[in-house]
Amino acid sequence: MMLNATTLQDAAVLLAELQARGVTLATAESCTGGLIAAALTAIPGSSATVLAGYVTYSNEAKTRLVGVPEAMLAAHGAVSEPVARSMAEGALADSGAGIAISCTGIAGPSGGSAAKPVGLVFIGCARRGMETQVERHVFPGDRGAIRAATVDAAFGLIRRALTE
């Protein structure tokens, strides 16, 4: 998936907002495979703000890189609110960033079920000194549309965390 001009413009604005507040960021991504970090790091000067990006596509990577407990994955599945929360909190702790954003979902075209349909995405946002927020979305469209919508929603959640 190519990053479109609107996403890159949104990334530049978000980076400026983070920089104006002196807040650093880390990402922990599954279904987007690093697209959130890619959009942000496409902007010159992003290295002052984006500290780390974890692509935790497998359950083993979620456990090893950002500390998601194996028991949590077994109990809830990778695509769940508790896992998104744990991913964000683990990235925050490991990176030393001020905010961490995470996402885990089913981008399709296969892999969905009645309980967890294609398009289901959980996005977590952890910020030092604040309660971790998790949003549940069911995005329409194909794999590319779901991944792009996840990036946009993640940017929105980061913005809300900055203003709280």
**Under 8 Å between Cβ of 134 and 81:** yes
pLDDT of residue 164: 83
- pLDDT tens, 97-154? 999 999 999 999 999 999 999 999 999 999 999 999 999 999 999 999 999 999 999 9
What CA–CA distance (Å, rounded) separates 3 from 11?
A: 10
Q: What confidence score (pLDDT) does residue 123 get?
A: 98
CA distance 44 to 8: 11
pLDDT, residue 49, reads 98
Q: Is the dihedral of CA 81, 93, 107, 163 positive or negative?
A: positive
Which structural domains are found in the chain, ordered by start?
5-163 (3.90.950.20)
Nearest to 137, CA basis, from 120, 151, 149 = 120
Q: What is the share, in percent, of the chain residues with pLDDT greater than 90?
A: 97
